[in-house]
Structure 1
Amino acid sequence: MKNPAAEPSALSHLLSLPVIVSALGYFVDVYDLIVFNIVRVPSLKGLGLNPEEVSILGSQIYNWQQAGLLIGGIVWGILADKKGRLSVLFGSIIMYSVANISCGFVQSPTTYAFLRFVAGVGLAGELGAGLTLVSEILPKHLRGYGSSIVASVGLLGAVVAFLTNSWFDWRTTYFAGGGLGLALLALRVRLYESGMFEQAKVQRIQRGSMWAFFKDAGRFWKYMRCIGVGVPTYFVIGILATFSNEFGKALGISEEIVSGRCVMYVFIGTVIGDMFSGVLSQWLKSRKMAIGIMTTMTLVGVLFYLYGGITEAQAFYVTCAYLGFSIGYIAMFLTVTAENFGTNLRATATSTVANFVRATTLITLPLYQYLKPSFGVISAGAIVALLCFAIAYTSLFWMEETFHKDLDYVE
């Protein structure tokens, strides 16, 4: 089969400025999004909290960030469909960069929670607007490759965040992330708006409406399915990786498990997984089959993580890397979201779906914490996992195949 990515014209599309800048934007986005997961324990200990407070307040601060993502996803998504993709790519990066620099000066958990909320609002706009722009400027036979490039480069931000924290203290880690975001602004000046959006802008149609997803039953369930297929990804990131120190102790691993290291391994795996899933979907000519394969691989990994009898730290870290690889369909389900909706609602759908998936920890994390005293760490994790995968498989079963879909249309 002829590989379109090997053709010069295809390469020129895939290496165009919007793709490169969107990928770098997602790199900074992931760095600033995941930095709290990495510095959660050392930063809260640095503020004088004891281990119990680190766990409880750490969960609360993390959920403030996720709440910001939830609100920001709606705000930025609507703005991207009303005012343009570029307005979001500029505004969001300024907000989350300033918020992350401010986190480097924090002195109390209350201020910390507020700043993570502000950062969450800002971070919510990056991925959805970037992938929407890339999906609209690339030919349909290259969209899978484009999403893989954006995701793979972007997810390396988590690795850089971990390495930065290894070399410097947690405050400097925040300063570096915010500085990278502000530096990226210079590249964004040269970006151009999506042609599809410019065409939709002159039409007399409603753009950027959340209500549009709820007033039509078919559109509503299509929207919910896009969220549902992504739920396992943030179960792995938000619970299994972020609270891996608790799972390691519950499994009886003698060596202390470092949560930041687990997060890093998960994201290293995700970088490779996102490249794999994009190529897999192109080879299969099916988004649904690629997502189904990756979801099943994730289920196998979660079962091994919880019940595989892991006793060594090294094996635990390798399992985290595998789980990262298996959830490497994040950009894929967001590409599917972009392909499911017309130009007038596309950015709203993609931005809100991305952040609603991230914000599922607002439900799964409190549920895990609630179940933990009665069932224990392992069983509590398993119950939450069962819920997440039930939602994902049900959503995937009813999802529309969008591989060959032309995106130049409106709702």
Structure 2
Amino acid sequence: MNEEASVEQLDLFQIAKTLFGNKKQLSKFMLCVFAGAPAFVFMSLYVTLSPEFCAAFGITEKVSVGKAIMVYLISFAISDVLGGLLSKLMQKRKAPLLIYAIFQIIATIYFLYIPPNTVEQYYLRCIFLGFSVGCWGILITNSVEQFGTNIRATVATSTPNLIRGITIPATLTFSVLVKEFGLITSGAIIGFSLIAISILCILLLKDKFENDLNFYEK
């Protein structure tokens, strides 16, 4: 039993060394993480702060954060399925991700700079936001395909968690900016900055669609 535990610990150490001890692998891994930067930040900022944004838009009706999150996630899920079909149709990973990045720019402009007049119109904007980041399946698949079989599982589990972790510095930065620039401008700074980072990272990654994935990282 102790021998099995020792072997498992050795395997984990070797995986960590291969992924994080190699500058090339580490930089590629971080590109995969930041390629998904807007995904959870949109919900943690724009949707979670629905009462604050509705007040800034001049909406006097009471908004339900729960309903805003619900319509966002439903749209996200539908878009995720469609994104997978689009990737299959185009026979590419990067092109659909870049198309979604364009959707994110449009959705952010629509959300922040075309103010809704009613709560229903606000929910519609949440639907657009959710749809724009529904490239989750393509994003994680593309990340996994960048690496060899020996560290692929580690990348598949750690990439989503680190993408979620981006919300922490993003929300902290937002809380500082909002005191100086206000809610809308601060939301725009965070949103467009993350989209720009995401696009750059996507462009720097290779498209591995239907490439030979039977390789081993040394």
TM-score of the superposition, structure 1-length normalised? 0.49
Instruction: Return the alpha-carbon distance in structure 1 between the equivalents of residues 212 and 12 of structure 2.
Output: 20
Instruction: Return the alpha-carbon distance in structure 2 between the equivalents of residues 299 and 336 of structure 1.
Output: 21
Of the three residues 315, 323, 334, the one matched with 2:121 is 315
Aligned residues of 2:47 and 2:126 also touching (Cα < 8 A) = yes
Amino acid in structure 2 at the alignment position of 1:256: K
The equivalences for 1:150-229 within 5 A come to 209-229=15-35
Amino acid in structure 2 at the alignment position of 1:258: S
Instruction: Return the alpha-carbon distance in structure 2 between the equivalents of residues 255 and 231 of structure 1.
Output: 31
Aligned residues of 1:208 and 1:348 also touching (Cα < 8 A) = no
Task: Give how far 1:409 is off.
Answer: 2.5
Of the three residues 154, 175, 184, the one matched with 1:378 is 184
SS of structure 2 residue aligned to 1:256: coil
Aligned residues of 1:288 and 1:401 also touching (Cα < 8 A) = yes
Instruction: Return the alpha-carbon distance in structure 2 between the equivalents of residues 218 and 240 of structure 1.
Output: 34
Aligned residues of 1:230 and 1:392 also touching (Cα < 8 A) = yes
Instruction: Return the alpha-carbon distance in structure 2 between the equivalents of residues 240 and 405 of structure 1.
Output: 37
Task: Give how far 1:215 is off.
Answer: 2.6
Asked which structure has the greater RCO (Cα within 8 Å, sep 6+), the reply is 2
Give CA deviations for 1:267-294 in whole Å, capped at 9, x if unaligned.
1101110011000000100000011101
Q: Structure 1 residues 364 and 206, CA, compared in 2 at 3 Å: closer, same or farther?
A: closer
What is residue 339 of structure 1 aligned with on the other side?
145
Across the aligned residues of Structure 1 and Structure 2, the Cα RMSD in angstroms comes to 1.8
Q: How many residues align?
A: 210
Instruction: Return the alpha-carbon distance in structure 2 between the equivalents of residues 207 and 293 of structure 1.
Output: 38
Taking only the aligned residue pairs, the percentage that are identical comes to 28
Instruction: Return the alpha-carbon distance in structure 2 between the equivalents of residues 392 and 280 of structure 1.
Output: 19
Task: Give how far 1:373 is off.
Answer: 1.7
Instruction: Return the alpha-carbon distance in structure 1 between the equivalents of residues 73 and 85 of structure 2.
Output: 18
Of the three residues 89, 94, 97, the one matched with 1:288 is 94
Q: Structure 1 residues 211 and 239, CA, compared in 2 at 3 Å: closer, same or farther?
A: farther
Of the three residues 39, 54, 58, the one matched with 1:252 is 58
Aligned residues of 1:208 and 1:344 also touching (Cα < 8 A) = no
Instruction: Return the alpha-carbon distance in structure 1 between the equivalents of residues 79 and 202 of structure 2.
Output: 19
What is residue 92 of structure 1 aligned with on the other side?
none
SS of structure 2 residue aligned to 1:209: helix
Of the three residues 252, 264, 267, the one matched with 2:70 is 264
Task: Give how far 1:205 is off.
Answer: 7.3
Amino acid in structure 1 at the alignment position of 2:58: G
What is residue 368 of structure 1 aligned with on the other side?
174
Instruction: Return the alpha-carbon distance in structure 2 between the equivalents of residues 269 and 283 of structure 1.
Output: 21
Of the three residues 277, 281, 284, the one matched with 2:83 is 277
| Residue 409 (structure 1) aligned with residue 209 (structure 2) | no
Gaps of 5+ in 2: 1-7
